[in-house]
A and B are shown apart, each in its own frame.
Chain A
Amino acid sequence: MGVASFWHVFEGFMLVESSQSHSWDFGHADHSGSRRPLAFRSAPSHFLPLKTTMFSRLSASKAALKPVATAARIPSLPSSTVRFLSSNAGQAAAQPPLASRTALATASIFTVGSIAWYTHLYGSLPFVGEVHANSPAEDGLHPTAYPWSHNGLLDTFDHASIRRGYQVYREVCAACHSLDRIAWRNLVGVSHTADEARAMAEEVEYQDGPNDAGEMFTRPGKLSDYLPAPYPNEEAARASNAGALPPDLSLIVKARHGGRDYIFSLLTGYVDPPAGVEIRDGMNYNPFFPGGAISMARVLFDGLVEYEDGTPATTSQMAKDVVTFLHWAAEPEHDERKKIGLKAVILFSALTAISLYVKRAKWAGVKTRKILYTPPVDKHH
C-alpha cells in the first residue's frame, strides 16, 4: 500500500507539474564536501493541485462523495488528537517517564535477569519451596574455586605442571585408572620430547597382530599406541576394587560437576567421618563426594613422588599437578582455543565496528534529509 500510493502521488505530481523543472538533492550528489538535507529546490507549490488531479481520475460520483465523507469525519475527532497526529513530540512529553516503553522493558529485563541470576546462584526459584530427598551433605560439599594458572581468558596451561602431573598419574593413579583417549604421541610437544615419549612407550608391551602365521604377538610400544590400561576389562577392574569401577580419567575434568576444582577438592579432602556418620568397611569418607562414602582411599601423601625439577611433592602440589594434567587430557585444544578466540574477538570486533561505521555513513543522507513543504497560496481569493 505504502509504495503503491507513493508512486500514485508521484505520478500525479509529475502530471500536474510537468511544465516545471525540479532538481532533487539526496545529499549524495553534492561534491562540496558537506552533506545537505534533501530538499525540493523549486518552489514546492504543487501538492494541492496534485490531489485534485488524482481525484479527477476517479469516477465523478466518487469524487463528489469523498470530500463530504472526509469533512464529516474530521470534526468528530477531539482537537487534541488531531494536533498530536502531526507531531510525536507532543505525545512523548505528555507521558510520565515511568510509563514509557523503555521503563517497562527495563523493568522486565531486570526482573527476568535477577530471577535467572538467583536461580543460577542458588539452584532453585526464589519464594518457591522445594523438597529434597538428600541433605546437602549427601549431595557433597561444593568445591572451592581455586586460582588455577590457566584460569584467565588468555592463560595457557602451565606445561611444567602438566609434566609433573603426568608423573603423578603414571606413578599413582595409573595403578587403577585408565587414560584411554591419550596416546603417547599426544604428550609430544606438550609435556615431553619425542625421544622421551618414544622411550616411555617402548617400556610397555602391546599386543599386535596377527602375523603371517595368524597369531597375535607382543611388541614394544610406539608413539601411536594409547596409554596402557591397568585392567583388561571392566569386570577385572571391579573384581580388583571390591566392586567399584575406577573411572577412565581421559575426560574426567569435563565429566564432573565442578570440574578441576572438584577433583582437587576430592583428592585433598579426605578426613575422618564426623560423629554419627557410619562408613562401611572398605569405604572412605570424603565430604566432597556425593553421599560421602567413596571407594577410593586417600592416595596422595606428602613426598609420595619425587619430582625431577625439584618441586616439593606436597599433597596439594601433587593434586594440583595431576588435575592440571587431567584438565589437559580432557581439553588438549585448550591453549590453541584461547589463542584463536583472542584473534577472533579482535578481528570480529574490528569488522563489526567497520560495518557499523559504513552503515551510518550510508544512511546519514537518508536519515538527516528534510522535505520542505510550503503550503500553496490560494490564488482565487
Chain B
Amino acid sequence: MAFANTFYNTFARRNSVFVASIFAGTFAFTVSFDQGLDKFWDNWNKGKQWKDIRHKYIEES
C-alpha cells in the first residue's frame, strides 16, 4: 500500500508528470531492452557474425 501511495503521489497525481514519465519510461525501456537483447544475441552467436570476423579483413587507412 505504501508503494502504491508513493507511486501515485510521485507519478500519477499530475497529468504532466504522468505523461512525461510514460514517455521517459518508454524511451528507457526501449534502449535497455534492445541493448540487453543485442548483448545476449551477440553472446549466443559468438564468432559467427560479420562483426566478429571483420577485423581480419578491414584495412586501416
Q: Do A and B bind each other?
A: yes
Interchain CB contact under 8 A, A193 and B58 = yes
- Report A177-216 residues with CB < 8 Å from chain B CB: 189-193, 195-196
Residue of A nearest to B48 (CB): A158
Interchain CB contact under 8 A, A193 and B41 = no
CB < 8 Å neighbour of A156 from B33, B34, B45, B54: B45
Does B3 belong to the interface (CB within 8 Å)? no
Interchain CB contact under 8 A, A342 and B37 = yes
- For A189, the chain B residues whose CB sits under 8 A away are 50
Q: Is the interface of B mostly helix, strand, loop or mixed?
A: helix
Interchain CB contact under 8 A, B57 and A156 = no
- For B45, the chain A residues whose CB sits under 8 A away are 154-156
Q: How far is the CA of A195 from the CA of B33 in the complex (A)?
A: 34
Does A335 belong to the interface (CB within 8 Å)? yes
Q: How far is the CA of A155 from the CA of B49 in the complex (A)?
A: 10
In the complex, per-residue mask of A312-349: 1 if CB is within 8 Å of any chain B CB, else 0: 00000000000000000000000100010011001000
- For A343, the chain B residues whose CB sits under 8 A away are 33-34, 37
- For B52, the chain A residues whose CB sits under 8 A away are 159
Interchain CB contact under 8 A, A193 and B37 = no
- Report A49-87 residues with CB < 8 Å from chain B CB: none
With A154-B41, A342-B41 as given contacts, are A193 and B57 in contact (CB-CB < 8 Å)? yes
Does A45 belong to the interface (CB within 8 Å)? no
- For A191, the chain B residues whose CB sits under 8 A away are 50
Residue of A nearest to B52 (CB): A159
- For A149, the chain B residues whose CB sits under 8 A away are 48
Interchain CB contact under 8 A, A335 and B37 = no
**Chain A CB within 10 A, most for which of B41, B50, B53, B56:** B50
- Report B1-60 residues with CB < 8 Å from chain A CB: 33-34, 37, 41, 44-45, 48-50, 52-54, 56-59
Residue of A nearest to B34 (CB): A343
- For A26, the chain B residues whose CB sits under 8 A away are none
With A154-B44, A343-B37 as given contacts, are A159 and B57 in contact (CB-CB < 8 Å)? no
- For B49, the chain A residues whose CB sits under 8 A away are 156, 159, 335
Does A157 belong to the interface (CB within 8 Å)? yes
Interchain CB contact under 8 A, A156 and B59 = no
Residue of A nearest to B38 (CB): A339
Does A160 belong to the interface (CB within 8 Å)? yes
- For A335, the chain B residues whose CB sits under 8 A away are 49
Interchain CB contact under 8 A, B48 and A196 = no
In the complex, per-residue mask of A135-168: 1 if CB is within 8 Å of any chain B CB, else 0: 0000000000000010000111111100100000
**A341 to chain B: closest CB distance in Å?**
11
Query: What are 30 A-B residue pairs whose CB atoms fall within 8 Å in the complex?
Result: A149-B48, A154-B41, A154-B44, A155-B48, A156-B45, A156-B48, A158-B48, A159-B48, A159-B49, A159-B50, A159-B53, A160-B48, A160-B53, A163-B53, A189-B50, A190-B50, A191-B50, A192-B57, A193-B54, A193-B57, A195-B59, A196-B57, A339-B37, A339-B41, A342-B37, A342-B41, A343-B33, A343-B34, A343-B37, A346-B37
Residues on A lying within 8 angstroms of B by beta carbon are 149, 154-160, 163, 189-193, 195-196, 309, 335, 339, 342-343, 346
Residues on B lying within 8 angstroms of A by beta carbon are 33-34, 37, 41, 44-45, 48-50, 52-54, 56-59
The 6 closest A-B pairs by CB, nearest first: A159-B50, A156-B45, A158-B48, A160-B53, A193-B57, A193-B58
